[in-house]
Amino acid sequence: MKTRGYAALSARADLVPFEFSRRDLRAHDVALDIKFTGVCHSDIHQVNEDWGPSIFPMVPGHEIVGVVTAVGPDVTKFRVGERIGVGTFVDSCRTCEYCRRGEQQYCTTGDTPTYNGYERDGVTPTYGGYGDTFIVDEDFAVHVADSLDLAGVAPLLCAGITLYSPLRHWGATAGQEVGIIGLGGLGHMGVKFAAALGATTTVFSHSAHKRDDAARLGAHRFVDTTDHAAMAALAGRYDLIINTVSADLDLAPYFDLVKVDGALVIVGLPVKAYQVRPFNLVAKRRSLAGSMAGGIKETQEMMDFCAENGITSDVEVVDAGYIARAFERTLASDVKYRFVIDAASF
Ligand code: NAP
Ligand code: ZN
Ligand code: ZN
């Protein structure tokens, strides 16, 4: 299927218009017209090869929403005309312990990334959602309620599930203190979900001007992380702190805020290693953990939670020609709170 999209042709290059073909529909495949694709900071990391060598040409994009246009003969999960979402992976081994329990992101053989990866054959590159069409196996897509604003749904497929999953795993609930470090694409979804789950929610931000937005998004407290006294006043208070920051960060001040048996969970993926002093963990039986996106089962659960609670991402919808500027502004923490590309502009 002919697809018009945008690709980076080499590392750190600006994205340019790029035409390519999606595979023919297989028995369990669903074809969709993409309506919106979110710009995740991971797209920037991978174009820039922050995490190591990437595959070029690269069509980024793993926050995809659209409408089903065709289904293969054996598809039972979707109908033509239905809304559909695709996130950070499009296949997995389907048989390992983690795949069987719906946590494909932890597949023992590695999941198949939506882009900058290879299909299960190991040689066919995957192309992501910066384009006007997509083909996906029905088992790797989710239903999207008609009640939700579609542009605001796109970021749920990565930013949303990446915060929903650890909040649920570590049991964020009423009576708990939850902190979110970094009010960007991931962070603003973390605030919405933590507040909706009933937790007392704090934003830790290095951008003081985001204070009012934090409150509007549902946060109960805003801490300017450059204010050391304000940080110190919260020592030993938090059950769970999730770090969404895309840049190198000194974690030491945040460990101090975690209470006995609490956890500091990393979802941001900067390049440099973190420093952890043994006392950071030992002194209060604290955990340092990480979390990767979320499986299909939990992504559907999150979508349903969003429909019930009227939750979507706060987005700035842009045309494909704005991608380079969107990358620049994301790197400068100047995004409220996710850029979403209108796929009609590809
Ligand atoms: P984003 O929208 O750019 O948000 C990152 C936020 O981090 C910024 O808004 C900013 O918040 C804060 N920040 C940026 N530079 C900083 C600095 N120098 N010092 C302190 N804070 C800084 O990015 P995103 O799309 O949310 O992604 C965040 C990270 O998560 C990226 O590394 C991405 O690759 C990773 N990620 C991981 C997963 C996963 O599965 N674990 C999934 C998706 C993305 P303030 O202005 O409020 O300080
Ligand atoms: Zn992402
Ligand atoms: Zn597996």
The best mutation among 41, 212, 298 to test binding of ligand 1, ranked by most ligand atoms within 8 Å of the C-beta, falls on 41
Q: Does the bond joining 125 to the residue before it have cis omega, within 30 degrees of 0?
A: no
Query: Which atom, in ligand 1's list, is nearest to the CA of 330?
Result: 3
Nearest residue CA, atom 20 of ligand 1?
206
Q: What is the mean pLDDT of residues 49-73?
A: 98
pLDDT at 323: 98
Tens-place pLDDT, residues 275-329? 999 999 999 999 999 999 999 999 999 999 999 999 999 999 999 999 999 999 9
Q: What is the mean pLDDT of the chain?
A: 98
pLDDT at 46: 98
Query: Which atom, in ligand 1's list, is nearest to the CA of 331?
Result: 3
pLDDT at 200: 98
* Residues that place a CB less than 5 A from ion ligand 2: 40, 42, 158
pLDDT at 327: 98
pLDDT at 179: 98
Element (H, E) at 303: helix 296-309
Q: What share of the chain is helix, strand, coil (3-state, %, to 5)?
A: 30, 25, 45
Q: How far apart are CA 178 and CA 231, in angstroms?
A: 14
Tens-place pLDDT, residues 224-238? 999 999 999 999 999
pTM (2 decimals)? Answer: 0.98
pLDDT at 58: 98
Ramachandran quadrant class, 95 (left: phi over 0; alpha: psi -120 to 50; beta: rest): alpha
pLDDT at 242: 99
Q: How far apart are CA 156 and CA 182, in angstroms?
A: 17
Q: How far apart are CA 103 and CA 328, in angstroms?
A: 33
Ligand 1 centroid–CA 337 distance in Å is: 11
Element (H, E) at 83: strand 83-86
Tens-place pLDDT, residues 298-312? 999 999 999 999 999
Q: How far apart are CA 288 and CA 276, in angstroms?
A: 9
Tens-place pLDDT, residues 75-105? 999 999 999 999 999 999 999 999 999 999 9
Expressed in angstroms, the distance from the first to the final Cα of the chain is 15
Regarding beta strands 142-143 and 83-86, do their DSSP bridges make them parallel or antiparallel, or are they unpaired?
antiparallel
pLDDT at 273: 94
Nearest residue CA, atom 10 of ligand 1?
182
**For the chain, what percent of residues have pLDDT higher than 90?**
100
Ligand 3 centroid–CA 85 distance in Å is: 21
pLDDT at 338: 98
Please state the separation of Cα 271 from the chain's center in Å. Answer: 18
Q: What is the mean pLDDT of residues 113-133?
A: 98
Q: Does the bond joining 337 to the residue before it have cis omega, within 30 degrees of 0?
A: yes
Ligand 1 centroid–CA 170 distance in Å is: 20
Identity at 95, one-letter amino acid code = T
Q: Starting from the CA of residue 88, give the closest ligand.
A: 2
Q: How far apart are CA 121 and CA 123, in angstroms?
A: 6
Handedness of CA 136, 137, 142, 145 (dihedral sign): positive
| Alpha-carbon distances of 253 from 204, 225, 230, rounded to whole Å | 11, 9, 11
Q: How far apart are CA 61 and CA 334, in angstroms?
A: 19
pLDDT at 270: 96
Which residues approach ligand 1 with their CB closer than 6 A? 40-42, 45, 158-159, 162, 182-187, 205-207, 210, 244-247, 249, 267-270, 291-293, 330, 333, 335
pLDDT at 206: 97
Vertex 23, ends 303 and 301: CA angle to 5°? Answer: 10
Query: Which atom, in ligand 1's list, is nearest to the CA of 245?
Result: 7
